[in-house]
Structure 1
């Protein structure tokens, strides 16, 4: 087969399942609003990665080779945005009983991955390491998209559920601020690792 599906599935699961900006956003949504209320946001996050996969599969990588400064600029702008979100996470306190407004919806989730440097690095890594040269663009892109979506449909709700469970356990306790600062720190660390660590 032109795409190493099994190997890519292992890679994808390891990337989707580890801490990163998207998973921290999902965990925070679960902590503040609960799994059920956050499900539209979860769906948006999962499908938002498709907005990155398909353009890359159909030639965006060639554009990046011609104008690398554009992608460097976007990478750092995205990282700055996610660090700002992490700052907001750090200062959020969970008080479901008092009402925390409406949970973020599908459209809010849809923009998470296009602004996520880890998602871009993961997808580019998938195309460069697991797709054989000469593979038709449609076949390669559809396979990468399907495998990543399958991993997300399993793992993203688990991160959201973990946030929900953590909030039920820690909300209103002395440990709550430490939990929110930990989520924020992991978010920033994941972005810095992508920017400066050379990993995916």
Structure 2
């Protein structure tokens, strides 16, 4: 395989499952309006990431073919930024959220295009888990499919159970352990690819 699918799936799951702007919005929406009312927003958030995956994918694969040294530098820069994000996640604490009204599908579509974490995660996915020279369509379709699968599983879970987790763990020792575990999964998946040959 030209894409390290298993390694990327672990990385994607750790990223999609990590507290961040999108998941906090999903958690707040589910807590205030209920799971059923939040479903249009959930669908928009999941599909909205596709709006940036495809342009990034085709652009980065072209860069890999034309300037492999620059691609390699971007790979390490993306990995460093993702590890920085993981450190921030490790120090996050769960909290309450709220919205003025129940957001819909269109509101969900713009969440990831405006989310720096999403851009970093997608860029890191292409630079760390895709072998240079992989056809753009193959690489982009694989990355898009894995991310969408993770989102379809985890975004509803955040919406349905996020508020319960926040109420249960907020301010307790388990909250710290949860954040550190999510951060550690993110770092481990990146290091595995960088030093363990995950893109072969």
State the distance in 2 between where 1:156 and 1:90 align: 17
Pair 1:153 & 2:152 matched: yes
8 Å CA contact retained: 1:35, 1:164: no
State the distance in 1 between where 2:22 and 2:150 align: 13
* Runs of 4+ in structure 1 over 2 Å off: 89-93, 163-167
State the distance in 1 between where 2:96 and 2:116 align: 20
8 Å CA contact retained: 1:49, 1:114: yes
CA displacement at 1:164 relative to structure 2: 5.0
Unaligned runs of 5+ in 1: 66-88, 94-99, 171-175, 191-200
Output the TM-score relative to the length of structure 1: 0.63
State the distance in 2 between where 1:41 and 1:92 align: 14
State the distance in 2 between where 1:60 and 1:38 align: 34
Identify if the C-alpha distance between structure 1 residues 14 and 47 changes in structure 2 by more than 3 Å, giving closer, same or farther: same
1:166-185 correspondence to structure 2 within 5 Å:
none
Pair 1:45 & 2:52 matched: no
State the match for 2:66 in structure 1.
none
Identify if the C-alpha distance between structure 1 residues 27 and 91 changes in structure 2 by more than 3 Å, giving closer, same or farther: closer
8 Å CA contact retained: 1:27, 1:160: yes
8 Å CA contact retained: 2:27, 2:97: no
Identify if the C-alpha distance between structure 1 residues 19 and 92 changes in structure 2 by more than 3 Å, giving closer, same or farther: closer
1:24-173 correspondence to structure 2 within 5 Å:
24-59=24-59, 62=63, 92=98, 101=101, 103-165=102-164
Unaligned runs of 5+ in 2: 64-69, 71-94, 184-200
Identify if the C-alpha distance between structure 1 residues 117 and 27 changes in structure 2 by more than 3 Å, giving closer, same or farther: same
Give RMSD over aligned pairs. Answer: 2.9
State the match for 2:22 in structure 1.
22
Output the TM-score relative to the length of structure 2: 0.63
The size of the alignment, in residue pairs, is 142
State the distance in 1 between where 2:138 and 2:43 align: 24
State the distance in 1 between where 2:142 and 2:9 align: 10
State the distance in 1 between where 2:4 and 2:60 align: 21
State the distance in 1 between where 2:162 and 2:14 align: 19
8 Å CA contact retained: 2:57, 2:140: yes
CA displacement at 1:165 relative to structure 2: 3.9
